[in-house]
């Protein structure tokens, strides 16, 4: 990779790109957010309820400018904390959804091939083709470069870069991420190096469908995101679904937490708690009873085996028992 034409962050924008609002601005915690507790309180204003462990991890990631690596079951709030953090920091959220086979051309940048061809044809038609060298310079101009999420994040300040579900990508992609996260720069052979003036705050998430390599984790502040406790989950339901009665919220959360204790293929996350509550509200329920619980299991358990298991354990009786023990 050549590096002869060093280019720097937002200064590298072409004429067609919207200028970054404040080149070089850092995604800073707002005044008053001086420790994990005040960060948790500020996140709550944005509808996100973090426990002490997560608030501490996020606080350290923000203050030490380290990528935050969040691992945990699906639906425990890994993706949504980066949205709340971006709001809080007044930063743009740039999201890279990982998938099997993702590579640099989808994550970093790509050349806009059709536009290059059009330019070439137009130059030929106008008789403006001077020499190969000049033509190449014209074709590999910044305006023909398509910024994919990582480059977008480097060129936007302040920004939060969410690299979501990194466990879905392959090993080679992790190596690529490692390079970007250590340099916060992208080398483009035809153009030079684009470096972030202000590195974005990076949040990586993994549902742990496979182990992510140590080397990548080592760069980051790691936090395992657990399912919330009872009181927090009830508060999340009330924050996310205002207007839901406390009784219904408590009963649904009790049932979901009891289901998580079972040996299920896919234990329900907070997302399912919210879906289940919404389904029950849509049916006009103000509390959870045996019939409704069984009839609406489809919003909380998405595997046939799990539904059968839930039916076999008599979920309503389980809820009654748990409530009776005085949660």
Residues that bind ligand ADP (CB under 6 A): 47-50, 72, 74-80, 205, 236, 239-240, 270-271, 274
Nearest distance from C-beta of residue 271 to ligand ADP, angstroms: 4
* 77/200 with CB nearer ligand ADP: 77
DSSP H or E segment with residue 39: helix 36-45
Spatial contact of 219 and 178, defined as CB atoms under 8 Å apart = yes
How far is 275 from 273, CA to CA, in rounded Å?
6
Nearest distance from C-beta of residue 79 to Mg ion, angstroms: 3
- Which residue's CB atom is positioned nearest to Mg ion? 79
- With CB under 5 to 8 Å by kind, the binding choice for 76 among ligand ADP, Mg ion, none is ligand ADP
Show the CA angle centred on residue 70, arms to residues 82 and 276, nearest 5°: 70
* 79/198 with CB nearer Mg ion: 79
Phi and psi at residue 145, to the nearest 5°: -95, 130
Give me the sign of the Cα torsion angle 296, 301, 303, 307: negative
- With CB under 5 to 8 Å by kind, the binding choice for 48 among ligand ADP, Mg ion, none is ligand ADP
Rg (the chain; Cα; Å): 24
The helix-helix angle for 52-64 and 36-45 (nearest 10°) equals 100
Nearest distance from C-beta of residue 82 to ligand ADP, angstroms: 8
Nearest distance from C-beta of residue 256 to Mg ion, angstroms: 18
159 is a site residue for Mg ion (CB under 5 A):
no
Place of tokens 């509808």: 47
Of 2-10, 78-86, 110-118, 148-156, the window that binds Mg ion (rule: CB under 5 A) is 78-86
Of 5-13, 75-83, 93-101, 294-302, the window that binds Mg ion (rule: CB under 5 A) is 75-83
Pairing of strands 159-164, 201-206: parallel
Nearest distance from C-beta of residue 235 to Mg ion, angstroms: 20
How far is 273 from 108, CA to CA, in rounded Å?
36
206 is a site residue for Mg ion (CB under 5 A):
no
Nearest distance from C-beta of residue 289 to Mg ion, angstroms: 32
* 6/229 with CB nearer ligand ADP: 229
- With CB under 5 to 8 Å by kind, the binding choice for 49 among Mg ion, ligand ADP, none is ligand ADP
Nearest distance from C-beta of residue 239 to ligand ADP, angstroms: 6
- Which residue's CB atom is positioned nearest to ligand ADP? 77
DSSP H or E segment with residue 195: strand 192-195
How far is 185 from 197, CA to CA, in rounded Å?
9
Residue 12, judged by CB atoms within 10 A of its CB (0-12, 13-18, 19+), counts as buried
Pairing of strands 221-224, 68-71: parallel
- With CB under 5 to 8 Å by kind, the binding choice for 245 among Mg ion, ligand ADP, none is none
* 78/195 with CB nearer ligand ADP: 78
Cis peptide upstream of residue 120 (ω within 30 degrees of 0): no
3 state SS of 143: helix
Nearest distance from C-beta of residue 279 to ligand ADP, angstroms: 14
79 is a site residue for Mg ion (CB under 5 A):
yes
* 65/95 with CB nearer ligand ADP: 95
* 97/322 with CB nearer ligand ADP: 97
Q: How many residues contact Mg ion, by CB under 5 A?
A: 1
DSSP H or E segment with residue 189: none
């Amino acid at each position: 990779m050549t590096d002869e034409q060093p280019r720097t962050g937002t200064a590298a924008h072409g004429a067609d790109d919207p200028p970054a609002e404040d080149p070089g601005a850092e995604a800073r915690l707002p005044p008053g957010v001086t420790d994990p507790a005040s960060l948790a309180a500020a996140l709550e204003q944005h509808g996100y309820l973090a426990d002490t462990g997560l608030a501490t991890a996020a606080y350290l990631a923000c203050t030490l400018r380290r990528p935050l690596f969040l691992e945990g079951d699906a639906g425990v709030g890994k993706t949504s904390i980066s949205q709340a953090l971006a709001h809080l920091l007044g930063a743009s959220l740039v999201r890279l959804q990982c998938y099997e086979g993702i590579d640099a051309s989808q994550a970093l940048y790509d050349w806009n091939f059709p536009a290059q061809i059009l330019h070439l044809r137009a130059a030929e038609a106008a008789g403006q083709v001077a020499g190969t060298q000049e033509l190449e310079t014209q074709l590999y101009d910044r305006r023909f470069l398509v910024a994919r999420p990582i480059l977008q994040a480097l060129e936007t300040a302040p920004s939060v870069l969410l690299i979501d579900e990194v466990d879905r990508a392959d090993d080679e992609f992790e190596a690529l991420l490692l390079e970007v996260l250590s340099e916060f720069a992208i080398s483009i052979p035809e153009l030079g190096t684009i470096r972030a003036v202000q590195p974005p705050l990076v949040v990586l998430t993994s549902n742990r469908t496979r182990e992510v390599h140590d080397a990548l984790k080592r760069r980051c502040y790691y936090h395992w995101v657990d399912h919330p406790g009872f009181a927090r989950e009830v508060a999340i339901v009330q924050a996310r679904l205002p207007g839901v009665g406390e009784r219904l919220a408590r009963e649904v959360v009790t049932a979901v937490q009891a289901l998580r204790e079972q040996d299920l293929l896919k234990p329900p996350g907070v997302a399912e708690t919210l879906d289940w509550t919404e389904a029950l509200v849509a049916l006009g329920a103000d509390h959870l009873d045996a019939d409704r619980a069984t009839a609406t299991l489809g919003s909380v358990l998405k595997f046939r085996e799990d539904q059968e298991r839930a039916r076999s354990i008599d979920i309503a009786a389980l809820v009654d028992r748990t409530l009776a023990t005085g949660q």
